[in-house]
Structure 1
Amino acid sequence: MNNWNVFTQQLASIFSKEQLITDEVLHYAYSTDASCYRLLPKLIVHVNHEHEISQLLQLANQYQVGITFRAAGTSLSGQAITDSVLVVLGPDWNNYRIEQEGTVIQVQPGVIGAHVNRLLQPWQRKLGPDPASINSCKIGGIVANNASGMCCGVAANSYHTLRHMRLMLADGTILDTADNNSIKAFKQHHQPLLDKLQQLSQQTHADASLSKRIRHKYRLKNTTGYAINALIDFTDPIEILIHLLVGSEGTLGFISSVTLNTIKDYPYKAATLVVFPTLVDACQAVETLQTMPVAAVELMDSRSLHAVATHSAMPGTQSLSPQSAAILIETQTDSEAQLNQSIKIIEQCLSHFQPLTPARFTTDKDNIDQLWAIRKGLFPAVGAQRKPGSTVIIEDVAFPIEHLAAGVQYIQHLFTKFGYSDGIIFGHALAGNVHFVFSQRFDNAQHTQQYQQFMEEVCKGVALQFGGSLKAEHGTGRNIAPFVELEWGSTAYQLMKTIKQIFDPNHILNPGVLLNDNPHVHLENFKIMSSSHPLIDTCIECGFCEAVCPSKNLSFTPRQRIAVWREITRRQQHKEPVKHWLQQFHYYGNQTCAATGLCANRCPVNINTGEFIRSLRQQQAKHARLAQWTANHFDLCLTGIKMGLKLAEWSGQWVGRVRQYHLSQTLHNLSGKRLPLWPSTLPLVVTQQCLKKYPRSSTQKGITPKKFDPSKTIVYWPSCVTKVISGTKSLPPLTMLIPDILMQLGFNVLTVDEKALCCGQPYLSKGYKTIAEQKRQQLHDTLFLYSNNGKWPILADTSPCLLQTKNSSHLTLYEPFNFCLKYIVNSNKGYLLTPIKEQIALHITCSTHRMGLTLQAQQLAEHCAQKVIIPPDISCCGFAGDKGFNFPELNASALATLKSQVANCSRGFSTSITCETGLSLHSGIPYQSIFYLVAEALGINTRTDANKNIVEEGK
């Protein structure tokens, strides 16, 4: 029996079957990072605890098996893939602790960088590193790659902000430098290792030429090879050890926790985009700006500017030439007065360079975001236009600032020489750090040779001619591993190989990454990005979409859905076996996709993977006649659904709702998921008998609201779900509450009570696109009539329904959040909102996010409650219409961390009844419509025993 078989048998005694992934389709799903390479792992291990990793490493050493750790997989140089064992962090690596008023944070590797920054906002602090992938990448990857970013420079990167580290060496030993006892124990058992590090430090100090070269190289951004600056920056071998792990890409050990010093997040900011006649002019301006009060300076060459010329915030490009360039400048301060002073200084500095466009700074947040959207849109601009079958390559180098202009011109020359007509150059100019992006095919030897020759000339020019860094912030990976010695020289390279030998003598940690004796490793295992579907062909597999996907911890993410479908299509084209792949994709790719479209918000090339999945469902839909019948008899179907729900409600009263829920779980599992789950948190069925309990209904005659104004007419459109289920034993249905609130505010309320209406979303999500459009058009026509031919505003009580209808022309449609802000909070009537004295949770639905109303949702909640918690890890609840009934594991997985995040909240609020059902089930607190919170803040008693309601108006 060979080592591999023994190794896997040993693993089976440590890990559960669910943690050891052996299926080839799932292996392929995890075979991609954001680079141009693909390797298929032999085994995937999901780890949840340190002791599991320790045991895994001990076995890997014993049987000589390679181990690669993966965080978010947004890495660009091939360092998160392997053909051996891929270790994926489970959802339990998300702990953090904020210390010393936000100046220090201890955080585990599974936390997304942007989430950390949101946690630090109350202290006006943030992480030093700010990579472009910060909304998706995780702390483990940020530290392991020594990420930096647009405003980070060198001083605030992971290396320089590191305070403590908890790590695990290749032999499974744990060291926690924040724990003196751990340090003491480590010194007792690993003193030889520390002695070797101290000896290397002394040797490096003694080599004046090497020390000088290290200092010179690290004045730039540099992630090529190991962080050997640790050998001259520190004398304590413990400090040397942990700083060597920064940027080591998982080749020296596993980082299980880091403590980082945070930096100030300045409240006052201004930005401008300035175009210069030539690249030289722009680079000279950058050099001068180094001494100015600037936080970021981003360079864009002329091809970059043409790539985003249609962006609304772009200045006119009619005067641009092939020599033109632009810089995006941002300044940040503590006060408005300081900001104005900084702007004057920068404007005066720039005036000496005679730019084509003046430096007009904006302090408006939306305008600043628009300017940064231009810069961040450069990478996807190439990705969206690449030819089918090609891969987007993004390289990352740094030049000494005095060579920036010459260096950029050198890259431009190589683009022309090798025929990369779509190549663009941009980057973090203050640090001399530029990225260049181009598309490349790898489907024949000629294309590979083209790439090989191009990269060889790039590396020789950057490293030797200009004394720059071949990798400034993206990590060495497999891509630059053959060129580490070229950049550093043989002495430094041998030093790095010695470090690897000290830490990992059996070379089990991420083998082939960062150091590699194969001179052609960067030319092997390329991805073939074949065409598979027009909706997804432009995907560059960056992984930015994954953080917001509700199925990310259950089945496939959008990136994985696309990658696997591409492979299925390729197999079909080449007549290869595909049956098992289609079977696996049916559940992992199709059935458990919530199709929310949130992935499109994060995607650099705006791919809506949910739309792609719906298109597959449309092709596979088998019950079109039945679906059409239900659409034609929708009112009858709603009546039948009400009767069924009422029957289930009665049985719940008889056996108890919690017991009924557990019984339905059993039946759901025994039936092979054919029978739906019955949540114990489902609201009550709306019946005529229940409506009679609420004499405050707008349908009741004789009620004259305070300060009634007949000219103020609102059309209230209740969703079909709201008409069926809403309210509790102590709360009225929304169909009664909302008109009541509006009437007491002085509105004339016209409720849309047509029973056959539907926005079409249930049909669209199941692939019946034509029927969905029929229902949407029917709804549009009815709303048009109710709104006096579109003259009166329409209020929807359910966000997903409004999203489906929002593109209807001639209608003024409002979602609950923006309606309440406009007509209550910001009304000139001065309605008095008194925040309730509770800490409440707010769930912003995926539909609300997609409509761009996230900020409005938060603003309204903060007007109505003293403390509002928006769980940062919850983007979509995963209930997804009826998915919560038929695939409850999707809802449970999406909300796995919700309970701990809202533990101190009394209640939760949202804008979709089905979402609220799942949220209540998995949070431990009741979730209700935001209108119940608005009513309380207005002083309206919503309980069933209330007979009088008064809305106090401000003067």
Structure 2
Amino acid sequence: MTSSPAMTDKKAQYDAIHQSLKNTIDESRLIRDPLRTLAYGTDASFYRLLPQLVVRVNNEDEVRMVLKEAKSRNLPVTFRAAGTSLSGQAVTDSILLQLSDQWKGHRILDQGQRISLQPGIIGARANQLLAPFQRKIGPDPASINACMIGGIAANNASGMCCGTAQNSYQTIESARLIFADGTLLDTADESSRLAFGNHHADLLDTLTQLSKQVRANDDLANKIRHKYRLKNTTGYSLNSLVDYQDPFDILLHLMIGSEGTLGFISEVTYQTVVDHPIKAAAMIFFADMEATCRAVTSLKSAPVSAVELIDRAGLRAVEGKPGMPESLSSLEAQAAGLLVDVRAATEEELESNLALVKQALNGQATLNDIEFTQDKVIYDSYWKIRKGLFPAVGAVRPVGTTVIIEDVAFPVEKLAEGVLELQGVFQKHGYSEAILFGHALEGNLHFVFTQGFDDPHEVSRYAALMDEVAHLVAGKYKGSLKAEHGTGRNMAPYVALEWGQEAYDIMWQIKNAFDPQGLLNPDVILSHNANLHVENLKPLPKANDLVDTCIECGFCESVCPSKALTLTPRQRIVIWREIQRLTTLGTDPERLAALKKEYDYQGVDTCAACGLCSMQCPVGINTGDLTRELRHDRHPDSKVGYWLGEHFEGVTQTVRLGLSTANVARKIVGNKGMASLTNMANKVTGGVVPHWRTTMPKGADSIRSLWAEKMIQDGSVPDRELAKPTVVYLPSCATRMMGADPSGQDQRSVMDVMLSVLKKSGYQVIVPEEVESSCCGLAFQSKGQFAVADKKAKDLNAMLLSISDNGRYPIVCDTSPCLLRMTQTLDPVLELYEQVGFLKEFVVPNLTITQKAPRIALHVTCSTTRMGLADSFVQLAHQLADEVVIPPEVTCCGFAGDKGFSHPELNASALKTLSKAVEDCKVGYSNSRTCEIGLSEHSGIEYQSIVYLVDQVSEASSGL
């Protein structure tokens, strides 16, 4: 419905637009509750505003409708992609328009020379699509594994290797754009341009006139050219007014870096750049900053891909990290370093480039020998550390403070004096802990420091620092106050200072021409509020030691299986912090109660606790640890837990019997009948009876009977003194309970197949006598039953030490999550192998592959990734199959032990893209029995343990 002129109350306006949007947009995507507005309204910056309405839009039509409805009610709208921006571009106290997961379309054009991308695609995914063509998108921000194309374009993000020549402004070819009035323009379509010109002639005329005005003013035109010789994201892209004359070209390039203040980018087509496959990097150290900057100047004309400067404080922050030289700890206080990256198409070209780089550094006094490495592990560690410098500072900050990153650029010829003077400014204002690093070839440097905002004196100190930094960088050195992180709210009060009044007035004319009512992301880039940068500051109270180091960067979100269902790791931490803040204050009991109630499901129950977030987090936070602790607080170690642990053999036998009985019942009432019965029983028993899955396995045979049968067939009993290799086989409780899918091609259990393969490859197998009562403790740990989990791990440790002769014999487990838990809790003397590692290293080399499978799907479990076995798993699969399909959108499957039975919606959400990704495959493989249940159900194909494929395509080698 349409609001009346008398409806001036803002709440009534939001109620009205909510009601109107409900007619078209599903109400589950219209969000107004306290928990999710806070969670979805938080970005990586140090600002906080609470949106009144969050709309998760699925397509262009919905965007257009929201904008029209908002315009008719004079309500501001802010756009959000991944929320990794650092300057406050993506927060609002009005309507937040958030991308749903429906914005991942792409088209690869001209053999990868161009690519069209919707805004919801993560930058790293775009490069994955282009990798077969040895191409990539130009921008390469440090957050590329988490940030989305919409944000990359809207902020004109650049990065380590991108410079000023390969950013979005330089590489954009066309875009689909939606403006404040809901009009859609496709700049690559002539009919769309014609229609837009007919209805928006005033906008195009304004851009044409501004271009003529600027180009006629030599001083202003030259100033603009100088500003964009550097990296510069302060204000609007005024270079478009001197670089182009066609108003559509001007418009397109103004949209780049406009931070959602001029319109919405619904698709962008980039010209891609070469991604050289051969890479080398070196860490080079110098006595002081001046010598380091001189080396940067020497490298400016050398064939380098990137030169990253790190000051002594930054180097100190990464001392002892994997891959870093031991000599770091002995560097003097004034030392600094350069990470130099060199790339080429061939080894010969690389050698030539390296020689030229070393020649360019001749005469520069270094503290270490210049040694370039192509070792992927060391190379990746260098870059991981460089990309993690910002969060690493945040991880060691005092609790209650935030971490701020300032992003400036000096003319490279003034780099040394500018840096030294800037360091002096930070010292003057008491920021002695600040670290400096950045893209030195472009004169682009980041200063990172910690800041408290809970004390007015601290806010004033920060304001004074910013004033002096602005006058130094923009005034004295004619540099950029925001080189690549965007103006946002952080630098909006200083845009006029950097650009001067004439250019600033032109920016306001641009804003008014695109957005006359000022409804698109107000106060971002341009603001009349001189104190904007020190208002609406985000609180970061103490919440829990496990997560207090989080700076809410959002790097974790892309891999979280619950991201499209409930909350991400960042959002779980945000809400838990708010709960703790409100608990301490005691001022808003109603809001606190609402958050606590919703958090039980949104934060705790639907967290898979898979730990993949820790792999993405620069400081290694595993939000699952917080979840398990909260589960423990909700249900402390109980008598039931102890009883289950003490009677575990009986528990596994009962589950086996239950599965067998259930599959008999399935034959009578079918899957629908079983679903109805178990849903009812689940409610009655408070979740004890699991939800039915169409791929529910039958009960497994006893491992003792299987092992005895194999030994009888072999005609021998394991003799530990024989020269024949011996292995201890520890089947997990999941494989001991769960047999094959009743509709599967191979009805043997994982245990049966493992014994077959181990025997075929020449091993004699020891199965522990007490195996039926054993458990690594994972099942108890995941529910917060920590004492029982530790007891089971201790018992297992004693059993394995005995059966392996104190580590003499290797131990192989057939379930990835269990093995991960064992590596974390058992005696290091035990030689533990997950089945993938053991199969690849010891079993397959002793087999003859008779005929590879044609095409298979592969799911790499989260625990496999966390153990560093992902590459080995893929390599093993390629040894066994001609083609291996790894669904790109699937990370953790969300089954999470038994979560697939208790909260099947988590598994369904995590795997919603699976069936399409594997539609050309007939079978899939993994290495966790519970994960395979969900994978089979949501893919439409059977998933089995990878050991089935090993057995299927191999025979014993001669001589075994």
TM-score, with structure 1 as normaliser: 0.95
- Partner residue in 1 for 2:945: 929
Would the alpha carbon gap of residues 670 and 776 (structure 1) be closer, same or farther in structure 2, given more than 3 Å must change?
Answer: closer
The residue identity in structure 1 corresponding to 2:428 is K
Instruction: Answer yes or no: is the 8 Å Cα contact 1:425–1:435 preserved in 2.
Output: yes
Task: Report the Cα distance in structure 1 between the residues aligned to 2:856 and 2:633, rounded to whole angstroms.
Answer: 43
Moved more, 552-561 or 621-630: 621-630
Would the alpha carbon gap of residues 224 and 39 (structure 1) be closer, same or farther in structure 2, given more than 3 Å must change?
Answer: same
Specify the SS of the correspondent of 1:657.
helix
- Partner residue in 2 for 1:197: 207
The residue identity in structure 2 corresponding to 1:758 is C
- Partner residue in 2 for 1:305: 315
Which of these residues, 677, 682, 694, is aligned with residue 696 of structure 2?
682
1:767-805 per-position Cα deviation (integer Å, ceiling 9, x unaligned): 111110111111121122221221111111100000000
C-alpha deviation, 1:411, in angstroms: 2.0
Task: Report the Cα distance in structure 2 between the residues aligned to 1:205 and 1:647, rounded to whole angstroms.
Answer: 82
Specify the SS of the correspondent of 1:772.
helix
- Partner residue in 2 for 1:269: 279
Task: Report the Cα distance in structure 1 between the residues aligned to 2:680 and 2:179, rounded to whole angstroms.
Answer: 44
- Partner residue in 1 for 2:356: 345
C-alpha deviation, 1:543, in angstroms: 0.7
- Structure 2 segments unaligned to the other structure (5+ residues): 1-6
- Partner residue in 1 for 2:3: none
Instruction: Answer yes or no: is the 8 Å Cα contact 1:873–1:897 preserved in 2.
Output: yes
- Partner residue in 1 for 2:603: 589
Does residue 614 of the first structure (1) align with residue 628 of the second (2)? yes
The residue identity in structure 1 corresponding to 2:39 is A
C-alpha deviation, 1:277, in angstroms: 1.0
The residue identity in structure 2 corresponding to 1:589 is G
- Partner residue in 1 for 2:654: 640
- Partner residue in 1 for 2:643: 629
- Partner residue in 2 for 1:794: 811
The residue identity in structure 2 corresponding to 1:552 is K
| Percent identity over paired residues | 47
C-alpha deviation, 1:911, in angstroms: 0.5
- Partner residue in 2 for 1:722: 735
C-alpha deviation, 1:391, in angstroms: 0.4
C-alpha deviation, 1:665, in angstroms: 5.6
Which of these residues, 250, 256, 264, is aligned with residue 266 of structure 2?
256
Which of these residues, 470, 474, 498, is aligned with residue 459 of structure 1?
470
1:232-271 per-position Cα deviation (integer Å, ceiling 9, x unaligned): 2122222211111111111111111111111111111111
Task: Report the Cα distance in structure 1 between the residues aligned to 2:403 and 2:674, rounded to whole angstroms.
Answer: 53
C-alpha deviation, 1:44, in angstroms: 0.9
Task: Report the Cα distance in structure 2 between the residues aligned to 1:835 and 1:394, rounded to whole angstroms.
Answer: 56
Moved more, 312-321 or 198-207: 312-321
- Partner residue in 2 for 1:760: 777
Does residue 188 of the first structure (1) align with residue 202 of the second (2)? no
The residue identity in structure 1 corresponding to 2:809 is W
Does residue 751 of the first structure (1) align with residue 767 of the second (2)? yes
Instruction: Answer yes or no: is the 8 Å Cα contact 2:285–2:368 preserved in 1.
Output: yes
Instruction: Answer yes or no: is the 8 Å Cα contact 1:295–1:332 preserved in 2.
Output: yes
- Structure 1 segments unaligned to the other structure (5+ residues): 939-949
Task: Report the Cα distance in structure 2 between the residues aligned to 1:662 and 1:835, rounded to whole angstroms.
Answer: 44
Task: Report the Cα distance in structure 2 between the residues aligned to 1:465 and 1:853, rounded to whole angstroms.
Answer: 53
C-alpha deviation, 1:298, in angstroms: 0.4
- Partner residue in 1 for 2:831: 812
C-alpha deviation, 1:287, in angstroms: 0.9
Instruction: Answer yes or no: is the 8 Å Cα contact 1:661–1:677 preserved in 2.
Output: yes
TM-score, with structure 2 as normaliser: 0.95
Specify the SS of the correspondent of 2:395.
helix
C-alpha deviation, 1:909, in angstroms: 0.8
1:421-440 per-position Cα deviation (integer Å, ceiling 9, x unaligned): 21000001111110010000
Instruction: Answer yes or no: is the 8 Å Cα contact 1:545–1:600 preserved in 2.
Output: yes
Task: Report the Cα distance in structure 2 between the residues aligned to 1:192 and 1:662, rounded to whole angstroms.
Answer: 62
Instruction: Answer yes or no: is the 8 Å Cα contact 1:698–1:736 preserved in 2.
Output: no
Specify the SS of the correspondent of 1:72.
coil
C-alpha deviation, 1:319, in angstroms: 5.1
- Partner residue in 1 for 2:332: 321
The residue identity in structure 2 corresponding to 1:467 is K
Task: Report the Cα distance in structure 2 between the residues aligned to 1:138 and 1:702, rounded to whole angstroms.
Answer: 61
The residue identity in structure 1 corresponding to 2:920 is N
Task: Report the Cα distance in structure 1 between the residues aligned to 2:709 and 2:122, rounded to whole angstroms.
Answer: 47
- Partner residue in 2 for 1:294: 304
Specify the SS of the correspondent of 1:332.
strand
Task: Report the Cα distance in structure 2 between the residues aligned to 1:834 and 1:377, rounded to whole angstroms.
Answer: 46
Instruction: Answer yes or no: is the 8 Å Cα contact 2:636–2:784 preserved in 1.
Output: no
Does residue 823 of the first structure (1) align with residue 852 of the second (2)? no
Would the alpha carbon gap of residues 173 and 953 (structure 1) be closer, same or farther in structure 2, given more than 3 Å must change?
Answer: farther
The correspondence of residues 545-584 of structure 1 with structure 2, limited to 5 A, is 545-576=556-587, 577=589, 578-584=592-598
Task: Report the Cα distance in structure 1 between the residues aligned to 2:698 and 2:658, rounded to whole angstroms.
Answer: 12
Task: Report the Cα distance in structure 2 between the residues aligned to 1:579 and 1:189, rounded to whole angstroms.
Answer: 51
Task: Report the Cα distance in structure 2 between the residues aligned to 1:267 and 1:696, rounded to whole angstroms.
Answer: 52
Instruction: Answer yes or no: is the 8 Å Cα contact 1:710–1:747 preserved in 2.
Output: no
Instruction: Answer yes or no: is the 8 Å Cα contact 1:838–1:905 preserved in 2.
Output: no
Instruction: Answer yes or no: is the 8 Å Cα contact 1:600–1:607 preserved in 2.
Output: yes
Task: Report the Cα distance in structure 1 between the residues aligned to 2:513 and 2:889, rounded to whole angstroms.
Answer: 39
Instruction: Answer yes or no: is the 8 Å Cα contact 1:39–1:83 preserved in 2.
Output: yes
Task: Report the Cα distance in structure 1 between the residues aligned to 2:709 and 2:202, rounded to whole angstroms.
Answer: 80
1:746-785 per-position Cα deviation (integer Å, ceiling 9, x unaligned): 1111223521011101110111111101111111211222
- Partner residue in 2 for 1:842: 858
Task: Report the Cα distance in structure 2 between the residues aligned to 1:656 and 1:802, rounded to whole angstroms.
Answer: 35
C-alpha deviation, 1:691, in angstroms: 7.5
- Partner residue in 1 for 2:4: none
The residue identity in structure 1 corresponding to 2:630 is L
Instruction: Answer yes or no: is the 8 Å Cα contact 1:834–1:864 preserved in 2.
Output: no
Specify the SS of the correspondent of 2:132.
helix
- Partner residue in 2 for 1:50: 60
C-alpha deviation, 1:603, in angstroms: 1.0
Moved more, 583-592 or 751-760: 751-760
1:454-481 per-position Cα deviation (integer Å, ceiling 9, x unaligned): 0011111110111111111101100000
The correspondence of residues 120-519 of structure 1 with structure 2, limited to 5 A, is 120-312=130-322, 313-317=324-328, 320-519=331-530
Task: Report the Cα distance in structure 1 between the residues aligned to 2:851 and 2:124, rounded to whole angstroms.
Answer: 29
Cα RMSD of the aligned pairs, angstroms, is: 2.2
Task: Report the Cα distance in structure 2 between the residues aligned to 1:417 and 1:835, rounded to whole angstroms.
Answer: 71
The residue identity in structure 1 corresponding to 2:956 is V
Task: Report the Cα distance in structure 2 between the residues aligned to 1:612 and 1:560, rounded to whole angstroms.
Answer: 13
Instruction: Answer yes or no: is the 8 Å Cα contact 1:821–1:860 preserved in 2.
Output: yes
Would the alpha carbon gap of residues 667 and 129 (structure 1) be closer, same or farther in structure 2, given more than 3 Å must change?
Answer: farther
The residue identity in structure 1 corresponding to 2:713 is Q
Instruction: Answer yes or no: is the 8 Å Cα contact 1:97–1:105 preserved in 2.
Output: yes
Moved more, 355-364 or 665-674: 665-674
C-alpha deviation, 1:350, in angstroms: 1.7
C-alpha deviation, 1:711, in angstroms: 2.8
C-alpha deviation, 1:396, in angstroms: 0.6
Does residue 894 of the first structure (1) align with residue 910 of the second (2)? yes
C-alpha deviation, 1:445, in angstroms: 1.1
Task: Report the Cα distance in structure 1 between the residues aligned to 2:475 and 2:703, rounded to whole angstroms.
Answer: 84
1:204-228 per-position Cα deviation (integer Å, ceiling 9, x unaligned): 2111111111111111111111111
Would the alpha carbon gap of residues 904 and 449 (structure 1) be closer, same or farther in structure 2, given more than 3 Å must change?
Answer: same
C-alpha deviation, 1:835, in angstroms: 6.1
Moved more, 585-594 or 895-904: 895-904
